Structure 1
Amino acid sequence: MNHEPQKVLVADDDAMNRQVLAELLKPEYTVLLAKNGEQALERAQRHAPDLVLLDVMMPDMDGYEVLRRLRADPHTAASAVIFVSGMDRPEDEANGLMMGAADYIAKPFNATVVMARVALHLQLVRQRRMLERLANIDGLTELANRRRFDEVYATEWQRARTTGAPLSLALLDVDAFKQYNDRYGHPAGDRVLRALARAVTACLRRPADLAARYGGEEVVLLLPDTDAVQARALMDQVGSAVAALQIPHAASHVASTLTVSIGGATLGASAFETAEDLFAAADRHLYQAKQDGRNRVVWRAPA
């Protein structure tokens, strides 16, 4: 769980207002300051604040235009915005809310009201992000789920095709998993999948690497900026890590303990026309690993 203080950007052309709000917020939050619209956009782009306290009336660029640009930029679109303004007519407040502001505080502001509303909206931000995270996590293994994999794969495929960087993909399948469930029961099978997920995750040391549960006992691993030699070596480590768990599997015809089969492929300068082609190649090599006796890695280097 992330315990870092949430970030609040205060954008106001009045130095006294900035100072007062900063002093109020600093004990609990990381505070960023901006004195005009351009500075607010630059700081928001760089720091991705959780909440923006935004003055409406600023020179050169008013708060409405800042809000419009924040919402148009994918990097800042999720930041909550509270307008802080001396314009207290109902139509002014309604205009800001219709543009996408989360709340509206009238000047001169009351410190207790400001802190209460900031706390409320930052709590909503935390809850929304928690729900987003849960929507991308497999409930049993706590690996990424298939939806998350599909999103990341599409992005990394496009990046690799644009930059020419290598992209490796592997499919992992537990050997004789049906027989394991038949002999030991499904609760034991669930425990195996959780142990497998921990072993696989421990082998991935870079933030960009992704392990996802693709279905049943199958795990897909996405390795950006990883060539075939590196990827194959990493998958050998994964196979060894699973074997090191020493989970008894008396029903397996492969070994007396749990093992996995892995198939993979790497995108090179001229290999594979589509993301589906790369995935299909990894799937074929997983099938080949099973045909060759299981408990092994089969890899296709780029053409």
Structure 2
Amino acid sequence: MEDLQAKKPLVLIVDDSPLNIQVLGEALRSEFRVKVASNGALALRLAVEEDQPDLILLDIMMPEMDGYEVCRRLKEDAKSKNVPVIFVTAKNTGEEMARGFALGAVDYIVKPFYTPVVLARVRTHVNLKLKAELLESLVMRDDLTGIPNRRHFNEIFEIEWRRAQRTGSWLAVALVDVDHFKQYNDHYGHGLGDQCLRQVSNALVSTLLRPGDFVARYGGEEFAAVLPGADLAGARDVAQRFRANVADLRIEHACSKAADVVTVSVGYAAVVACPEVARQSLVDMADRMLYRAKGGGRNRVCGPD
């Protein structure tokens, strides 16, 4: 029963009226999980938790922070900007509705509301969100390995760079290249080559220990990792484990000049993000370190330290 409940979409009801929360909650619980917030500050916290809502029903007229301000802040936060917001309000003038839509709301429900209409509208917008997420996940996934692709890497790197700039914290990038992979493909065939890339990608993903760390297929036989909060020593540790874990797969490679098994070369770099540092410079530095590792004989790790 708990598993079935956990699979239900989650709706966050934000209203300072306990009666409205009770009526909306009773109407929705047959199809959705429900969380509630009686003020804007709590709503903003709940909207970015790990168990993020699939839709927010948001009252406009609330003390301290009204629904318009809550919606504005939700849409400014990368974690909550894609959560659909439906205003539930007694304000039903064209001007008020236009203001809400301009802030990013997807719909309006006017009080006093008719619960079957509320349920229908919530169902519609939740389904649209889930379909959009499915399409986005397909676009962001590498078909061969099943891990994120370069487009997803670029998006995550941008988010983590901005976060690191705001907090003045470290951010690291590691680039990984499978050594002599063209020779592997030529000797063993593309079928085994594809299988090899899948095994390597699994080894890289399993290497990551922290929830924020991220690895993607960067292109061809190259992979890339974003390591938030990692300084040069931390990035070097991850890079060394990347190299060791791939070698431990013991995938035969008779045509490699680096070893008799499939190996990888890794370049890494890390900086304290600040406005004076261009974000692309971090990736460029990791790329130069990868070039150095390959030029030094491959099956090795190189960084700027």
- TM-score band w.r.t. shorter chain: 0.7 to 0.9
Give 5+ residue unaligned stretches, structure 2.
48-52
1:188 aligned counterpart, secondary structure: helix
Q: Does 1:282 align with 2:281?
A: no
- Is 1:44 the counterpart of 2:43? The answer is yes
Change (3 A) 1:72 1:241: closer
Q: How many pairs align?
A: 293
CA distance in structure 2 between the aligned counterparts of 1:10 and 1:166, rounded to whole angstroms: 37
Q: How much has 1:299 moved relative to structure 2?
A: 2.1
Secondary structure at the residue paired with 1:276? helix
- Give, in whole Å, the separation in 1 of the partners of 2:203 and 2:62: 56
**Which residue in 1 is equivalent to 2:11?**
8
Measured at CA, do residues 106 and 230 of structure 1 come closer, stay the same or move farther in structure 2, by a change above 3 Å? closer
Partner amino acid for 2:41?
E
What displacement does 1:123 show? 1.6
In 2: Cα distance, 1:43 partner to 1:244 partner: 48
Residues 1:158 and 1:21: Cα distance change in structure 2 (over 3 Å): closer
Distance 1:146 1:78 in 2: 21
Deviation at 1:119, TM superposition (A): 2.2
Distance 1:140 1:95, change over 3 A: same
**C-alpha distance in structure 2 between counterparts of 1:13 and 1:230, whole Å:** 46
1:207 Cα deviation after fit: 1.6
Question: Residues 85-104 of structure 1 correspond to what in structure 2 (within 5 A)?
Answer: 95=98, 98-99=101-102, 100-104=104-108
Larger mean CA deviation between 24-33 and 241-250 belongs to: 24-33
Equivalences for residues 134-145 of structure 1 within 5 A: 134-145=138-149
1:17 alignment partner in structure 2: 20
Question: Using the alignment, how far apart are the partners of 1:53 and 1:45 within structure 2?
Answer: 13
Is 1:221 the counterpart of 2:238? The answer is no
Question: C-alpha displacement at 1:106, in angstroms?
Answer: 5.0
Q: 1:224–1:106: structure 2 CA closer, same or farther, 3 Å change rule? A: closer
**Alignment partner of 1:294: what SS?**
coil
| 2:236 corresponds to 1:232 | yes
Q: Which amino acid aligns with 1:119?
A: R
The separation in 1 between residues aligned to 2:240 and 2:27, in whole angstroms, is 54
Tell me the amino acid that sits aligned with residue 44 of structure 2. Q
One of 79, 82, 85 as aligned partner of 1:78? 82
Query: What residue in structure 1 maps to residue 180 of structure 2?
Result: 176
Decide which moves more: 95-104 or 26-35. Answer: 95-104
Shift of 1:198: 0.5
Pick one of 239, 242, 266 that aligns with 1:262: 266
Q: How does 1:149-160 map to 2 (within 5 A)?
A: 149-160=153-164
Normalising by the residue count of structure 2, what TM-score does the alignment of the two structures yield? 0.80
The one-letter amino acid paired with 1:181 is N
Please state whether the residue corresponding to 2:125 is helix, strand or coil: helix
User: One-letter code of the match for 1:114?
Assistant: V
- 1:155-184 deviation line (CA, Å, top 9, x unaligned): 434544564533322211111111111122
Overall identity of the aligned pairs, in %? 42
What is the CA-CA distance between 1:273 and the residue it aligns to? 4.2
- TM superposition shift of 1:260: 1.0
Q: Which residue is 2:50 aligned to?
A: none
Q: CA deviation at 1:278?
A: 2.9
Distance 2:273 2:290 in 1: 23
Q: Evaluate the alpha carbon distance shift between residue 62 and residue 238 of structure 1 in structure 2; reply closer, same or farther with a 3 A threshold.
A: closer
After superposition, the C-alpha distances for 1:77-132 in whole angstroms (9 at most, x for unaligned) are 4332334456779x589758854543344555444443333222212121222223
Q: 2:72 aligns with which of 69, 74, 78?
A: 69
Distance 1:64 1:280 in 2: 43
Q: What code does the residue aligned with 2:33 have?
A: T
Matched, 1:30 2:39: no
